[in-house]
Amino acid sequence: MAKKKNTQAAVEWDYSPSPESTSHIELKSKYDLYIDGKFVKPSSGKYFASYNPATEEKLADVAYANEKDVDKAVKAARKAYTNVWSKMEASERAKYIFRIARIMQERSRELAVVETLDAGKTIRESRDVDVPLACNHFFYYAGWADKLDYAFPNRKVEPLGVAGQIIPWNFPLLMAAWKIAPALAAGNTVVIKPAETTPLTALILAEIIHEAGLPPGVVNIITGYGDTGAAIVNHDDVDKIAFTGSTAVGKIIQKAIAGTGKKATLELGGKSANIIMDDAPIDQAVEGIINGIFFNQGHVCCAGSRLFVQEAVVDIVVKKLKRRMDTLILGDPLDKNTDIGAINSKEQLAVINKYIKIGIDEGAEMYQGKCVIPEKGYYCPPTIFTDVAQSSTIVQEEIFGPVLTIQTFRTVDEVIQKANNTPYGLAAGVWTDKGSRIFNLTTKLRAGVIWANTYNKFDPTSPFGGYKESGFGREGGLHGLSAYVKLK
């Protein structure tokens, strides 16, 4: 029987644009400081602009706080701590924190869209990861507020006092939640500064906190640059510094507070190893590599930026990785189908491009995902480097962008040695089908967080933090709570 040949051509089927609506967003043209329960103008009268990195358009002007404003905020926090918050019944404190969580959930769509506008991250991530996780942190720690005696049995639990908190631009709202929620639950008051490129969701959080009726001064949200942060760190009446950001700034903070009696939690950089063993489920491992390094454009302190692949499977892993990279959709972060959004700022894009150039100059083999880069905005295609060595600059230094280095190894001992051979120690990933291999590696890798057959999974109940130059102290879970209490 003669039959038609199967000669139908490949079908072009592209997803139509599917942008998340911004019509429900009403950004103010100007945002003030939130101090002592009021929105107040900065004493210098100065403002700076926050931009949408995907379009380079200005979103709003934001107050620039100086030392005087910081002093005002710390005084308000001290007053609220002494007179109200530390004296309040713990179950009452819990109610306020629950209320913040619930209002955040109600306004989650708005928060997600503003986060995407301000930070350049995809709406898929801000909607499905950042905002729900931020809400969950408040819910989780609200639950602990009146159970501190059970969190630390047989100890007398006291708050520390006023916490000065400085957060980065990669997960603006989520980092604010990580910092504020445990501090409040333990009975501390807060002065927090979001990063200068991404202040907007923290300022919406100020509105939410205001709406929740939190007593004035319990949470103060002030915006500014590095000097504003320095003023918080150096203020005499701050009891605790919590900082997430670069290792360089972390070192400055540690020097500044040496001998002051201020407690600190520092969550700094990383160059985390993602290790693929020869018995790993390859397709899922490839997906884990993608999630490890391209999640949030690689602006993740625990990004799996150093990939180690056992030599028996390196060819197939690299082949599949390249193929998968070509299917990633780069573009408008507001489009629901976008996988890779915009780089957070022009400055960061310059840093990433500098490292890409170093990689090429060092003779590494580069591959970039096939994507069309929009004309406006700051974008970097997903990038991998093979033919690199432990001694390559791009292997040693944190790039904080969608750039992966791929090294090979032969034996388990070799990969443990190489993975640990770094000043950092934030996270690691292990991919293998064998349970015993997982336990062997997880006990020997010097990293604060180790994922097995997954990567970049976060949960409010799970502690997060690093070894060595990746910082100290833990956030999340009971460990995160203990960073905000004095135990007697």
Partner 1 sequence: MNKKNGTANHRIPDFSLSPRIDKVGVEERVSRFQTRSIKTSAKLQGLKMVLNMIDLTTLEGKDTPGKVRQMCYKAQHLHDYHPGLPSVAAVCVYPTMVGVAKKGVEGSGVKVASVSTAFPSGQAPLKIKLADTKFAVSEGADEIDMVISRGKFLRGEYNYVFDEIAAIKEVCGDARLKVILETGELVTLDNVRRASDIAMYAGADFIKTSTGKIQPAATMQVTYTMLEAIRDFMDETGIKVGMKPAGGISNSKLALHNLVMVKEVLGGEWLNNDWFRFGASSLANDVLMQIMKAETGNYQSSDYFSID
List the catalytic residues.
267, 301
- 12 vs 236 by CB, closer to partner 1: 12
327 interacts with partner 1 by CB under 8 A: yes
Strand partners, 403: 383
Shorter beta-carbon distance to partner 1: residue 157 or 317: 317
Which member of 3, 29, 375, 435 binds partner 1 (CB under 8 A)? 3
Q: Does 260 bind partner 1 (CB under 8 A)?
A: no
Least Å distance, CB 330 to partner 1, is: 15
Place of tokens 């931020």: 134
> Interaction with partner 1 in 96-125: which residues (CB under 8 A)?
124
Distant-in-sequence, close-in-space partners of 178: CB < 8 Å, separation ≥ 6: 137, 167, 244, 475, 476, 480
Q: Among 40, 453, 467, 486, indicate the residue that binds partner 1 (CB under 8 A).
A: 453
235 part of the interface to partner 1, by CB under 8 A: no
Q: Is 89 in the site for partner 1 (CB under 8 A)?
A: no
**Whats the size of the chain, residue-wise?**
488
Q: Which residue is listed with tokens 């388990």?
A: 412
Gyration radius from the chain CA atoms: 23
Question: Binder to partner 1 among 60, 280, 303, 485 (CB under 8 A)?
Answer: 280
Query: Does 284 interact with partner 1 (rule: CB under 8 A)?
Result: yes
Residue 128 near partner 1 by CB under 8 A: yes
Sign (positive or negative) of CA dihedral 275, 278, 283, 286: positive
Q: What is the DSSP string of 32-66?
A: -EEETTEEE--TT--EEEEEETTTTEEEEEEE---
Q: Using CB under 8 A, which residues numbered 7 to 46 contact partner 1?
A: 8, 10-18
Candidate list 454, 462, 479, 486; residue touching partner 1; CB under 8 A: 454
What angle do helix axes 108-119 and 131-144 make, rounded to 10 degrees? 120
- Smallest CA-to-CA distance from 346 within 84, 98, 55 is with 55
Q: Which is nearer to partner 1, 288 or 448 (CB)?
A: 288
* Minimum gap (Å) between residue 120 Cβ and partner 1: 19
> Does 433 participate in binding partner 1 (rule CB under 8 A)?
yes
- If binding is defined by CB under 8 A, does position 279 make contact with partner 1? yes
Residues 6+ apart with CB under 8 A from 165: 179, 180, 183, 190, 191, 192, 193, 232, 241, 242, 243
287 binds partner 1 (CB under 8 A): yes
- Measured from the CB of residue 319, what is the shortest distance to partner 1 in angstroms? 8
The token pair at 390 is 């432990």
**Distance, CA of 126 to CA of 112 (rounded, Å):** 5
Pick between residue 72 and residue 124 the one whose CB is nearest to partner 1.
124
Judged by the rule CB under 8 A, the positions of this chain that interact with partner 1 are 1, 3, 5-6, 8, 10-18, 124, 128, 279-285, 287-288, 319, 327, 336-337, 433, 453-454
